[in-house]
Amino acid sequence: MNTQQILKIKNLQVKIQNEIIIKKLNFSINRGEIHAIMGKNGSGKSTLAKTIAGHPRYNITQGQIIFNNEDITHEEPEIRSNKGIFLGFQYPVEIAGVSNIDFLRLAYNCEQKTLNKPESDPLSFFEIMAKKLKNINMDDSFLNRNVNEGFSGGEKKKNEILQMSLLNKDLSILDEIDSGLDVEALKNISEHIKNFSNKNNAILVITHYEKLIDYLQPEYVHIMKEGEIVYTGNYETAKLIENKGYDFFLNNY
Ligand code: ADP
Ligand code: MG
């Protein structure tokens, strides 16, 4: 048994309706690592992220997803989440009528329950969150607003980061956490991701900008094209892509 390995994807093929979107995809992530996936729009990055999280629309027609040495290829999304997978959305949803703090506490207490730990009451939960908000340069008032309702692009992304650090899963996947952020917010979020990373967890970020990778310095950068990982490098790879463009990169490596 490999205790270092958190995620292993073996020969994965994914279809949406009858179209193959992901093909023959292989890669694995060990504890303590940050991985990035880059690729043009439509290359299948979000499909891969949602497939790992168990989104029902994506049909796994070949291959396996192994998480902490267990085959989760056909598990329900809730089970995957309980086992330790977090997915931050590319387009976070707004939930009218539900305050951010109630939503976060509900998610947190569900997690506590599966871990057989005591649930957090509203007051102590507010204290936990107030500390986390400070770290991410957000005002307390943020907690009383409805989930993502009227949030700016940057605030929605920060909210995803907040959820990630609160739920503290073995594997956190962040899909385009950097899109729509100004330089300051991007720097702040990158630092937060970096601080969250430790020797027991793993992070997979999906992006098509070099900047986030520059800040995060992931161990591995995978390039996706038409549903396949066509190249695996490190943060230098992202620099090359930034300077030369995807087409040049893909034609020459
Ligand atoms: P990326 O995140 O790299 O931009 P996506 O995974 O969103 O790429 O999309 C990969 C391909 O799958 C695209 O051709 C897209 O049109 C298709 N696709 C993704 N989601 C759906 C869906 N829900 N229904 C139909 N086609 C989809
Ligand atoms: Mg996407």
Q: Determine, yes or no, domain membership for 171.
A: no
114-128, 145-159, 215-229: the lowest-pLDDT one: 145-159
The rounded distance, in Å, linking the Cα atoms of 156 and 70 is 32
Mean pLDDT of the region 71-84: 94
Q: Residue 74 pLDDT more than 90?
A: yes
Per-residue pLDDT tens digits for 170-201: 999 999 988 878 888 899 889 999 999 999 99
What pLDDT is stored for residue 45 in this prediction?
96
The count of structural domains within the chain is 1
The answer to whether residue 12 sits within a structural domain is yes
CATH number at residue 35: 3.40.50.300
Judged by its nearest atom, the ligand closest to the C-alpha of residue 25 is 1
Nearest atom, ligand 1, residue 41 CA: 4
Residue 183 counted as domain residue: no
Atom of ligand 1 nearest to the CA of 176: 2
Ligand at minimal distance from the CA of 43 is 1
Asked if residue 228 has pLDDT above 80, the reply is yes
Q: What local confidence, expressed as pLDDT, does residue 97 receive?
A: 85
List, in sequence order, every residue forming a beta bridge with 100; answer none if it has no partner.
Answer: none
Is residue 240 assigned to a domain?
Answer: yes
Which residue lies with its CA nearest to atom 16 of ligand 1? 42
Does residue 24 register a pLDDT over 90? yes
The answer to whether residue 106 is domain-embedded is no
List of residues 6+ apart from 178 with CB closer than 8 A: 157, 186, 189, 190, 207, 209, 211, 212
- 80 is in which domain, residue-wise? 5-90+203-250
A 10 A CB-CB count for 121 gives 10
> Average per-residue pLDDT in the chain?
91
Whether 60 is in a domain gets the answer yes
**Any domain includes 17:** yes
Its pTM stands at 0.92
Task: Tell me, in angstroms, the distance from the centre of ligand 1 to residue 21's CA.
Answer: 7
Strand partners, 233: 221
